[in-house]
Amino acid sequence: MYKHTFHRHKTRVVQVGGLAIGGDNPIIVQSMTTPDTSNVAAVLAEIHRLEEAGCELVRVTVPKAEDAAVLGEIKRRIKIPLICDIHFDYKMALAALDHPIDKIRINPGNLGGMDRFRIVLKKAKDKGIPMRIGVNAGSLEREFAMKYGYPCPPAMVDSALRYIEIAESEGYHDMIVSLKSSDVLTAVEAYRLYAKQANYPTHIGITEAGKAPYAVTKSACGLAPLLLDGIGDTIRISLLGDPVPEIAAAFDILQATQRRVRRPEIIACPTCGRLEIDLEKIIAELEQRLAGRTTAIKISVLGCVVNGPGEAREADLGIAAGGGKGMIFKRGEKLYTIPESEMVDCLMKEIEIWEAEERAAGRLTTGGVTFTTDAHEDEHEECCEDDAKGKIGLPLLK
């Protein structure tokens, strides 16, 4: 079977709580809460729903002192790392850093000057807290917008690189970078340009994408090219309203691009006049019985003889059906023919056998994330060597 090649953007590793971001680590899914942060009960209720949905990082906004004051309580009562979002008031960044948070997100361009940015950098370094430097096309500094005429990708990247240089001059390297835009083409070009010039992990997303379902489609159109290019270490799908659906959307995009497969992939043909089995019923039952399974297996069930045999051969397990019966394939080889009524039971049996064989061969993969406790793990020696020399660029795309 043909094996796709994939080269990931070479980045250093940044530790965020128990999660390692960047390098060869899984792409992490995150979201942001919607209630006023000082409303602890509402924030915790939403975070717990996000955790249940699979969220792995969560961000809360801290625009006022009452929000900073409750960060410790929120942190104690959640299972995932906590990020604080800061805009305009650098004092709120300093206040947040006095609490047991796991990461801080700032846009240096709206803090009121580089001196204030340096103050925040120094405290984050002293506290050992990583930072996301967020450059946004909608709030790009005036000097870069004027230099290029408008908030274009080169302007956004120049802004990010300047902040990186300032941070490195303070001896600070625990950074993740985002270059967000509500325009898909601007975001894609900005991240691609950045990846050629810097080695800090990236948080990717299409900001202000709007309301689902269009917002999910828009996000997928922007993030898929980046993920297929190997760019992106943590991801958020920005949806209007309840943030919980963002998690499923993010994992679906990661699954479709094969950047992080954490459940079985079911391939099924569209409904048409050639169908010779009740495919909708079979797929519904199969999905129900596979719920909660994290095995990265590709299963194809096609309901006619046109594309069925070819698709079944390409999948790990497949059925090519016609006339109320189907041929079971495994790893491209024919096994046996079964009636329509036995298809789901036979597939489930063969999935168990396939998993056992893959496990015995050491090839079984799932979508789990490895949590670590060492906040200063090995961070790709070649990256760190360049950091020590004050460089921000590497030959990244090999």
Give me the CATH number covering residue 306. Answer: 3.30.413.10
Which of 216, 240, 258 represents a domain boundary (last residue)?
258
**pTM score:** 0.84
Burial 14-36 (b: 16+ CB within 10 A, else e): bbbbbbbbbbebbbbbbbbbebe
- For position 381, what pLDDT does the model report? 39
**Do both 182 and 127 map to the same domain?**
yes
What sign for the dihedral angle of Cα 313, 315, 317, 319?
A: negative
Same domain, 22 and 161: yes
- pLDDT at position 269 is 77
Which of 237, 258, 279 lies at the terminal end of a domain, its last residue? 258
Q: Which two tokens mark 194? A: 């950045």
Residue 5 maps to a domain: no
- Residues 218 and 286 placed together within one structural domain of the fold: no
- Token look-up 């048409």 returns 272
Residues 239 and 272 both lie in one domain: no
pLDDT for res 320: 85
Domain end call among 239, 258, 277: 258
253 plus 271 within the same structural domain: no
**23 located within any domain:** yes
Query: How much is the pLDDT for 394?
Result: 27
The reply to whether 285 and 208 lie within a common domain is no
Is residue 224 one of the residues assigned to a domain? yes
Q: What is the pLDDT of residue 332?
A: 85
Is the domain of 66 the same as that of 178?
Answer: yes
Structural domain including 281 reads: 265-360
Question: Looking at the structure, do residues 251 and 345 belong to the same domain, yes or no?
Answer: no
Phi, psi of 319 (to 5 degrees): -130, 125
Considering the domain architecture, whether residues 126 and 183 belong to the same structural domain is answered as: yes
User: Residue 46 and residue 34: Cα distance in Å, rounded?
Assistant: 8
Question: Which pLDDT score, from 0 to 100, does residue 372 have?
Answer: 45
Please check whether residue 164 lies inside any domain of the structure: yes
Overall number of domains in the chain: 2
d(CA 155, CA 190): 9
Q: Do 174 and 142 sit in the same domain of this protein?
A: yes
Residue 212 lies in a domain: yes
Alpha helix (H) residue ranges in the chain: 40-53, 65-69, 71-76, 90-96, 114-127, 142-148, 153-169, 184-195, 214-228, 244-256, 279-290, 308-314, 343-360, 381-388
Same domain flag for 143 and 248: yes
Residue 389 lies in a domain: no
Task: Write down the pLDDT at residue 13.
Answer: 97
Per-residue confidence (pLDDT) for residue 307, from 0 to 100: 62
* Residue 378 resides in a domain: no
Q: Report if residue 81 sits inside a domain.
A: yes
Using alpha carbons, list the distances in angstroms from residue 37 to 46, 66, 102, 107: 11, 8, 16, 19
pLDDT in single tens digits along all 398 residues of the chain: 556 778 899 999 999 999 999 999 999 999 999 999 999 999 999 999 999 999 999 999 999 999 999 999 999 999 999 999 998 899 999 999 999 999 999 988 888 788 899 999 999 999 999 999 998 877 777 777 778 887 799 999 999 999 999 999 999 999 999 998 999 999 999 999 999 999 999 999 998 888 999 999 999 999 999 999 999 999 999 999 999 999 999 999 999 998 998 888 888 877 666 677 888 899 999 999 998 888 889 998 887 666 666 667 788 898 888 888 888 989 888 899 999 899 999 999 999 999 999 898 888 877 655 444 433 334 333 443 444 333 333 222 22
Q: What stretch of H or E contains 339?
A: strand 333-339
User: Are 104 and 95 in contact, with CB atoms under 8 Å apart?
Assistant: no
Say if residue 207 is in the same domain as residue 328: no
* Residue 86: CATH number of its domain: 3.20.20.20
